[in-house]
Chains A and B, each alone.
Chain A
């Protein structure tokens, strides 16, 4: 007879850093991983003294899906769908950062149209990502109306991106040396409509949240971190900017078309939860501003580079010419031949510095892919933001950190 697992003999996957309270009236509580405020993938073991968190031990890894191992079994092209599922709130930024890294290694220069399109789509994704973050974090504090407003507009963005790419969340739209295809007709007109709608909706969010007594009480001076500490713990992106450091890769080490754009880098003052919320709100406005500029700058021309090492030949040529047929076959079966070497390329993703470290041994399959995922690094310093605050503040702090399981745990 086989013994069934019951709750009593289920193993505990993690070992807490401490299991006895440090003081007599301390208590140890476990939060997560299956908890509505921890996105289902994070566990916080906290020691409390009264309502105050004294120590916190953060465990992630509940969504570790073996991304890096999986990459070593795929060709450079076929792992693009896996890259999508790192930060699934803004899959396009991941796509483009990865493609950029491979292109750097192959020494391929993308066409101007692709360069502008990638910039535009990155900013568009950033809006969707920030919206998701703000929606989720304010909903956890009880702001259901703001959540529903943000979800409505995010759904338009998703449907609009589905018109372009065919999928609502996981797009797989980037290609090494270009993009999957060009914009469909009427896409830019609809984009303009959505941006106008965005402005109206975001105005409502400002009205609902900015001076909301409850919201301010729960976010002001909660989860404070200084610039120095933030850098020490490796924080990047909106979290670092909320402390007042105007550090943004888009401006500091310009890539794609960012050097030609006019935009501001919004920064906070205190580095608390409210600032993180507000920095994200302002960043969305900047993204809209950038998209508007890009819509006028978008040049005409091809989207894929004319390079047989990475670009697939056109379908009609595959059917009629033997060279194209062989080229197509080789690209599918062996993958693009990336010269041996290593590269680290970073893009400013919605959460911070998203870096791809790729090692190639000269074949069509990566030797090693490593992702410097901002969420993972942020979780490494999360305990600093929790300790000293109330237990209820865990929810609001964690919400504004915008931890994305797929990217954090890979």
Chain B
């Protein structure tokens, strides 16, 4: 984005690409859906409250309805019993949507290698960012959010379709 011709501290005009503008807007207005199941939830609570405060990154207001959110945070172990629920929530979210695997259980099943645990949520839904740790420290979660924001800013955002 380039700001042009600054007079008296105000922008006269702004040149940018549509993708960059939309990406910039989208990356700071993430509405997370916390799909919270297990121990990682303890850290999720910390991340979203006073000490670490993800609000600073524009990703604070959790929406508990998949229709209103665009970031699916899968926090904790997903078991085979839970898998259909997760899949359904994912399908109910509107595009554009991103998925974050929070903790090693969501990433790969973690140290639960048995009949009950799903060996990574990417077996059933696509994932954009993986955060390692059991549970991850809040700092690494914030790092993950920032990486996701970079990814959002850098990808193309086809909002104008043929119909317009």
Direct contact of A and B (CB under 8 A): yes
Report the separation of the CA atoms of residues A34 and B76 in the bound assembly, to the nearest whole angstrom: 13
Closest residue of chain A to B84, judged by CB? A10
Does A85 belong to the interface (CB within 8 Å)?
yes
Among the 9-residue stretches B18-26, B41-49, B143-151, the one with 4 or more Cβ atoms under 8 Å from chain A is B41-49
Does B35 belong to the interface (CB within 8 Å)?
yes
Report the separation of the CA atoms of residues A209 and B42 in the bound assembly, to the nearest whole angstrom: 23
Would B76 and A40 count as touching, CB distance under 8 A?
Answer: yes
- 0/1 string, B53-82, CB within 8 A of A gives 1: 000000000101000000000001101011
Would A63 and B37 count as touching, CB distance under 8 A?
Answer: yes
Most buried by A among B43, B82, B124: B82
- 0/1 string, A164-200, CB within 8 A of B gives 1: 0000111000000000000000000000000000000
Does B135 belong to the interface (CB within 8 Å)?
yes
Report the separation of the CA atoms of residues A64 and B81 in the bound assembly, to the nearest whole angstrom: 8
Report the separation of the CA atoms of residues A70 and B79 in the bound assembly, to the nearest whole angstrom: 14
Instruction: List residues of B (77-117) whose CB comes within 8 Å of A's CBs.
Output: 77, 79, 81-82, 84-89, 91-92, 111-117
Does B142 belong to the interface (CB within 8 Å)?
no
Q: List 21 A-B contacts (CB under 8 A).
A: A5-B124, A7-B92, A10-B87, A13-B84, A33-B82, A36-B62, A62-B37, A62-B79, A64-B116, A65-B77, A65-B79, A65-B114, A65-B116, A65-B117, A89-B42, A136-B45, A155-B51, A168-B137, A169-B135, A170-B134, A406-B39
Does A81 belong to the interface (CB within 8 Å)?
yes
Does B2 belong to the interface (CB within 8 Å)?
no
Closest residue of chain A to B88, judged by CB? A7
Residues of B within 8 A of A (CB): 35-39, 41-43, 45-46, 49-51, 62, 64, 76-77, 79, 81-82, 84-89, 91-92, 111-117, 124, 134-135, 137
Closest CB-CB distance, A34 to chain B, in whole Å? Answer: 5
- 0/1 string, A122-139, CB within 8 A of B gives 1: 000000000010011000
Q: Provide the main secondary structure of the chain A interface.
A: loop
Closest CB-CB distance, A345 to chain B, in whole Å? Answer: 23
Report the separation of the CA atoms of residues A62 and B85 in the bound assembly, to the nearest whole angstrom: 10
Does A392 belong to the interface (CB within 8 Å)?
no
- 0/1 string, A56-94, CB within 8 A of B gives 1: 000001111110011000000000011001001100000
Point out the residues of chain A lying under 8 angstroms from B64, CB to CB: 35-36
Report the separation of the CA atoms of residues A135 and B113 in the bound assembly, to the nearest whole angstrom: 33
Residues of A within 8 A of B (CB): 5-7, 10-13, 33-36, 39-41, 61-66, 69-70, 81-82, 85, 88-89, 132, 135-136, 147-148, 151-152, 154-155, 158, 168-170, 405-406
Q: Provide the main secondary structure of the chain B interface.
A: loop
Point out the residues of chain A lying under 8 angstroms from B116, CB to CB: 64-66, 69
Would A66 and B115 count as touching, CB distance under 8 A?
Answer: yes
Nearest first, the 7 closest Cβ-Cβ pairs linking A and B are A88-B39, A66-B114, A151-B49, A66-B116, A10-B84, A36-B64, A40-B37
Would B111 and A88 count as touching, CB distance under 8 A?
Answer: no
Would B79 and A85 count as touching, CB distance under 8 A?
Answer: no
Would B82 and A70 count as touching, CB distance under 8 A?
Answer: no
Closest CB-CB distance, B37 to chain A, in whole Å? Answer: 4
Point out the residues of chain A lying under 8 angstroms from B38, CB to CB: 41, 63, 65, 85, 88, 405-406
Report the separation of the CA atoms of residues A64 and B46 in the bound assembly, to the nearest whole angstrom: 24
Point out the residues of chain A lying under 8 angstroms from B111, CB to CB: 81-82
Would A132 and B42 count as touching, CB distance under 8 A?
Answer: yes
Point out the residues of chain B lying under 8 angstroms from A33, CB to CB: 82, 85
Closest residue of chain A to B80, judged by CB? A13
Report the separation of the CA atoms of residues A13 and B115 in the bound assembly, to the nearest whole angstrom: 15
Closest CB-CB distance, B69 to chain A, in whole Å? Answer: 12
Report the separation of the CA atoms of residues A136 and B50 in the bound assembly, to the nearest whole angstrom: 15
Report the separation of the CA atoms of residues A251 and B51 in the bound assembly, to the nearest whole angstrom: 37
Would B89 and A34 count as touching, CB distance under 8 A?
Answer: yes
Would A168 and B43 count as touching, CB distance under 8 A?
Answer: yes
Report the separation of the CA atoms of residues A389 and B85 in the bound assembly, to the nearest whole angstrom: 28
Would A169 and B42 count as touching, CB distance under 8 A?
Answer: yes
Point out the residues of chain A lying under 8 angstroms from B88, CB to CB: 7, 10
Point out the residues of chain B lying under 8 angstroms from A61, CB to CB: 81
Would A70 and B85 count as touching, CB distance under 8 A?
Answer: no
Q: Which single member of A13, A40, A147, A158 contacts B81 (CB below 8 Å)?
A: A13
Report the separation of the CA atoms of residues A11 and B117 in the bound assembly, to the nearest whole angstrom: 17
Closest CB-CB distance, A79 to chain B, in whole Å? Answer: 10
Report the separation of the CA atoms of residues A3 and B49 in the bound assembly, to the nearest whole angstrom: 42
Closest CB-CB distance, A373 to chain B, in whole Å? Answer: 14
Report the separation of the CA atoms of residues A35 and B37 in the bound assembly, to the nearest whole angstrom: 10
Point out the residues of chain A lying under 8 angstroms from B134, CB to CB: 170
Would B46 and A151 count as touching, CB distance under 8 A?
Answer: yes
Closest CB-CB distance, A389 to chain B, in whole Å? Answer: 22
Report the separation of the CA atoms of residues A135 and B115 in the bound assembly, to the nearest whole angstrom: 34
Would B79 and A148 count as touching, CB distance under 8 A?
Answer: no
Most buried by A among B38, B84, B87, B115: B38
Point out the residues of chain B lying under 8 angstroms from A64, CB to CB: 79, 81, 116
Would B77 and A11 count as touching, CB distance under 8 A?
Answer: no
Q: Which single member of B39, B87, B113, B114 contacts A5 (CB below 8 Å)?
A: B87
